Structure formats: C-alpha cells, structure tokens
Amino acid sequence: MILILLILFATLFSRAFYLQSMQKEFLQSKGGDISNRNEKLHAFRGKILDRNNELLAASSPVETVWANPSDVIMNKSQKNRLALLLKMRKDHLDERLDKKDTNHVYLRRQIAPELAGKIMALKIPGIYSEKNYRRYYPGKEAMAHVVGFTNVDGDGIEGIELQSNKFLSGEHGFRKVLKNRKGNVVDDLQDIQIPVDGKDVILSVDKRLQYASYKALEKAVEKHAALSGSAVLIDAKTGEVLAMSNYPSFNPNTSRSSQRSEYIKNRVVTDIFEPGSTLKPLTVSAALKNNSVTPDTLIDTAKGFYRVGKRLTVRDTHANGIITVKEIVQKSSNIGTTHIVEGLQAKYLWSMLNDFGLGAKTGIEYPGEVTGKVHHYKEWGEIERATISYGYGISSTLIQLAQAYTVFANEGVIKPITLFKEEGIIIGKRVVDKKTSNEMLAILESVVTEGTAPYAQVNGYRVAGKTGTAKKPNPNGGGYGKNYIGSFVGMAPVSNPRFILAVMIDEPTIDGYYGGVVAAPVFSTIMSEALKLYSIPQDGIEFDAPKEQKMVYLNKYDE
C-alpha cells in the first residue's frame, strides 16, 4: 500500500512539475483568456452636417442587452417581466437562453438607456448590458439618398456614411479587466487604450433645397402616376451638389428589413438611361465649335421624316420644313440634329462627348456611381451616329447630364462634381470656346421662351435648358416599349448662371409624358426656391402667364 501511494504521489508530483514548468506559459495564456477580457470602448461617430452646419446625421447613446445563457438564473416572475420589457415572446426568449454552447447571446440591441436600466434592475444573474451608439437621421426620407445609413454595428453601408466611413468612425479603444466565472468584473488591470472619436463631415448639400427638391419630386410622381423621379441641383461655379433627391425614398431611421431594396439606391448616380433630346445641345455644340454650322444655318427637315440606311426612319412630331439650327434645338427636331451630325467625323463627335463627361465618372465620390456608356466611334455605323445625335444608343446618369451642362454655364469650361463643401476657386477643363458656349446658352434660353419648355420659366429670371422625352428599351430586349422617361436640364439666371438643375421622371402615365410637361414644372419649382434662398439678383421680367398660354407653346412644339 505504501509503495502504491508513493507511486501515485510521484505521478502527481511529476504531473504538477510538468504543468508548472513545461506548460507554464501555455496555461497562463489559457487562464488569461478566460479571466482577462478586453472590453471594447466605442468611439463616438462623427456627425454629418450640411453646408450651413445643419445636422444631417448624429449618434445618440443606446445600450445593448445580452446574456450568458449558462449563468442565467431567474424565477417565473422575472422571466415574465424580462420578456415584457424586451417585447419578446416567452418561447422566443427561452429559445435564446437555451443556447448553452455559447457565452454571449444578444437579447435586444440599441435600446434606450432607460429601458436597459429597467432590465438590469431585475438583477437577473447572467444578464448584462453594454453602452454603444445608434445613428439618427433628422432628414428622414428627404435626405436618405445623400447620407445613406449604418448597420447595427455602426459601420456605414450606404451613401456618405459608407463613403466617409473611416473618417467618421474614428478608432475604437479597449480596457483590460479581470472577470470571474460568472462574467462579472472583479478587477481593472489598468491596461487601457483611449478611443479616438470620429470627425465631422460637412457636405455641400443645403438641407432647405434638399427638402424642397424632394417635395417637388413627390408631387410630380404622384400627379403623373410615375414609377419614380430624380433631381440633382448643383452650383454652376463650383460643381458642389446642393440637392440630390429621389422619390420614392426610405426612412433610414427604421429597420433595414422593412426597406424595399429598389428604394435604397441613389438613382441620380446609379441608374443609366438614354438621355434623348437633352443630349442635343452637346451634339450641336460640337458642330458649332468646328464651324460646320452657325445658329442661323438653314437645314431642311422636310416633311417630318428622314430615311437613314435601310433600317432607320428618323421622325419629328411635326413637319418643320426648312429651319435654322437654333430652331432645331428649340423645336427638338431629330431630323435636324441628324443632318448636323452627318457633317461631323465620328471620331470628333465621340471625342467631344467624352469631353462633356459622358462615359466617365463625375468625380462625385459617391458609392455605386456608374459611368454610363458611349460606344467607341469605330463601332458606329451611319444608324448609330444618327441616333446618338438625338440621344439614343448612348446612356448616361442624371448627374453626368448636370455636369455636362456646366460647360454652358461657365463659358465653355466643365466643372468637377462634389458632395463636399469646397473652399476657394474650382478649376475646370475647357471643352468648347467661349463663343460656342454663349451661342448655345442663347439657344437654350429660346427653348424656354419659345420652344418646348414654357413650364420651366421662373418668375423674374431668365432660364435656359433643354427638354428630353425618350422611350425606354424593352427590359427583355427587342427594341423599345411604350414607357417613357421625361427629363429637363437647365440653368438660371442666364445673365450669370448660378445653378444647374437636372430632373428626370421615370414612366409617367397620367397627364402626359413629355419632358416639358412632367419634368419642367419640377425644375421651375426647385429653381425658384434656390434663387430665392440665395438672394440671386433678378435678370428677367415679372410675368403672370396663364397656363393656357403655356399650353399653346407646348402643343405647338411637342417633342
């Protein structure tokens, strides 16, 4: 018996010596993993502000309640009270707490500190809370497509929240603590890393104009029973985006699971479409630049139809006969622009479209921006060159069209686009000469005063712009369907353009579908508000034109 005891004692001594000497570091590490914990110290996420320092997004303190299922001990009364406070069915709560294979189960995330206090007051072992932050968006639907939103962990996943995530997030810290088996902190190990709070982001957007833009789109989409509407307003001199809206929209304050995915994307930068007649000023400018035509050059548009090759018949809505280049844009003649482009080399036209920013990103630095598509000139035939002249066979985003029109607002210079507030002079790139730009600006003004866009007029100001009405391709291929996109891109005041606004109404079905009917009134509403808010001096005349008079213009020169 003594020998057996000695052997057992020797075995225990050898094992103890092996563990304490040979496995010392390994066992200390494992013990530390169990008792020593790094508690995350959340950094405060920076705010998102508009150009006037109005709040667009901010973080508010909340708490997350979690449990270690193995340590939870509670009576029936406590369980009933806990389920009531958590707004959770008791069977659902039991399901969460039955997960004994894990020591961390979320019960409710991002709840008010007051509610978390009531839960912790139940003093249920194994139930804990931790402080974090939840993002709040006071602009709701009107601002959603600009600021985007964060996920439940506070990381940006859409919009500026995603684009500037690293800048806004800062750096989380931690503190090392000693915990007992039940997960309670029993000692502070004095090892701490202070969190670095995120920085604020100041956008170029004006909250007032953003709201006005959203409401104008809402009214138009509902009035015309359209699929959607989009608008972007930019400062003509700096390229700063003052408003960028879509309707329908979503509320970034509500649960992500309740959002419709098609409403979340910012269609101003993510959706491409064939711009139709809003592209005509670009193609005509190319001809004015190389002196192949002048605003007064006469072109025969015949009886309203023109054959190109064997497969294409270009049509106008009216037989305009012999008209000037100015009238071609004014009356939106497809035949006229086709004749103009026939006098241009394909490579030259392709190069000019690229210079206007088509087929490339605008530089707005917004997640998901697409480039649109301009086929290489070597792929063009006579039909492709003809259709491109009036905005078919080419695709762009609404923000690209707005940027292209900065050329006419800046005497031939295109401006980069940004969503962040800029200081100082913004340098652009020359696309056309000053003479060509001024000629096109005068032509675009005549579109509003005498052509297809009387509804774009703004009382007391001279307005220039171009309407567009384009058929949408069949989603299943095979030509074009019966749905339209009505659009308008314009600027004001003409004497010294300050703002450029592009509007698009997708698939209007009631009370017309022409750009001059569905998009131009939206332009007038938003532009009027912008000119008033920024106290831009008037350069036009006060008028009180009745709707009937405007309708005469519109019926005479439908696109």
* pLDDT tens digits, one per residue of 21-42: 766 666 666 555 555 566 667 7
Rounded percentage of the chain residues whose pLDDT exceeds 90 = 61
Taken as a whole, the chain contains a residue count of: 559
Q: What is the pLDDT of residues 376-417, one digit of tens each?
A: 999 999 999 999 999 999 999 999 999 999 999 999 999 999
pLDDT tens profile 514-554: 999 999 999 999 999 999 999 999 988 876 654 444 544 44
Q: Taking the model in full, what pTM does it have?
A: 0.84
- Tens of pLDDT along 308-360? 988 889 998 888 899 999 999 999 999 999 999 999 999 999 999 999 999 99
Of 264, 268, 247, the C-alpha closest to 255 is 264
Catalytic residue among 59, 169, 277, 487: 277
Note the Cα 493 to chain centre separation in Å. 27
Residue 77 catalytic?
A: no
**Which of 116-125, 287-296, 432-441 is least confident?**
116-125
Of the pLDDT bands very low, low, confident and very high (cuts 50, 70, 90), residue 102 is: confident
pLDDT the model gives residue 395: 95
Asked if residue 559 has pLDDT above 70, the reply is no
pLDDT band at 194 (very low <50, low <70, confident <90, very high): confident
pLDDT band at 130 (very low <50, low <70, confident <90, very high): confident
pLDDT, tens digit (0-9, with 9 covering 90-100), for 48-95: 999 999 999 999 888 889 888 888 888 888 888 988 998 888 888 888
- pLDDT score, position 552: 44
Cα 518 to Cα 226: distance, rounded to the nearest angstrom: 10
- Domains delineated in the chain: 35-59+135-203 (3.90.1310.10), 207-556 (3.40.710.10)
What per-residue confidence (pLDDT) applies to 303?
A: 87
Amino acid 76: pLDDT: 87
**In this predicted structure, what is the pLDDT of residue 555?**
45
Name the token pair of 522.
Answer: 């939206």
Q: Give the CA count within 13 Å in the CB-facing half-sphere of 126.
A: 21
218 vs 210: CA distance, rounded Å: 12
Q: Which amino acid is at 21?
A: S
On average, the pLDDT of the chain sits at 88
pLDDT range class, residue 487, cuts 50, 70, 90: very high
Q: Could you tell me which residue, 225 or 176, shows the higher pLDDT?
A: 225
Estimate the crossing angle of helix 334-342 against helix 280-289, to 10 degrees.
30
Which has the higher per-residue pLDDT, 552 or 112?
112
